A and B are shown apart, each in its own frame.
Chain A
Amino acid sequence: MAVIRVREPLKKLAGGQSEQAIDGTTVAELLRELERTHPAIGGWILDERGQVRRHINVFVNGERGEESTAVGADDRIDILPAISGG
């Protein structure tokens, strides 16, 4: 299983766990499974269209990923807020 890593405030919504081992073959599949396991996180990372929110970055083993990026069993996925704001 791949490992998804989140920070606050997502960590709290994910039951207080900063790391989750989740099954899936793409970033979108993993995030949907994360939402299914922890409904409180629904709408925080993916919007209603199933797209990663504009100012959230997904890294797969340190490289920028997107919804369709393939993931394997040993991959590490980091969910981080983008450097943005004012």
Chain B
Amino acid sequence: MVERYLAPTTLDEALKALAAGDATIVAGGTDVMPQSQAGRFKLGRTLVNIRRVAGLQGGAKEGDEIRLGALTTISQLREDAFIAKTLPVLAEAADHFASVQIRNMGTLGGNIGNASPAGDTLVPLLVLDAVVELRSAKGMRRLRLDEFFTGPGKTKRTPDELITNIFVPAPKPGFVARFAKFGTRPALDISAVSVGIAGIVKDGKISNVRVAYGAVAPTPVRGRAAEAALEGKTLDAATLAAAAKAAQGEVKPISDRRATAWYRREMIHNLVKKVLADVAHG
């Protein structure tokens, strides 16, 4: 049962609260609250509302990287002019993210920390080659996002750590990233599958390819076979077909309430083709 509620305004205070142990972090609360109400998740003794912590908002270019504050809301991702210009794939993902109310409250850091295999920002972040910055009272470390998730709802974050920032390499000329998700209902649905593809497109050829899938494995995953099928290739019909086939072959989804394994593989095949066609068009 919750005994203490803290709303620190500085990072140090927040980290100190986490260091004391048995704390639950709340930012937007859009996952923590319904899950704890439904009994799927037990709140710690201390509720730490990090919403007022300064300096963890918005996006900015820092050297060769773009820093995205963990408290950036999904609505900000969707509306921020800098993000729309530099990382449009995130704005696109935010546009398909839950409802307006949830976008207003939910944060980028929260979506990462929640580690849902269907988390809508995670696939785009994977193809953007994102790195997660974690801070604790003991210090700071950075983990590659594709090594950060360990299972549904599970990550390498230790209980005293806070996700503070996300860094992605600043896009190079010719960089294109696209994302598509599919659920049964056109709006407000949790993905049955999602696909992200990024790379540098030059003279019709694609290189530095990154492919990622959502909701086909215990965590969002990179699509190494599809990447190999695409790397350095001309984006023609044969390449699209080969990449789609490679993608379909490499995913090992399960059947659950949202879709069967067969349908998910079928959809990965079709969505990879669809997203690649978008990438080819720039």
Q: Are these two chains actual partners, yes or no?
A: no
- On B, residues with C-beta under 8 Å from A are none
Which A residues fall within an 8 A CB radius of B? none
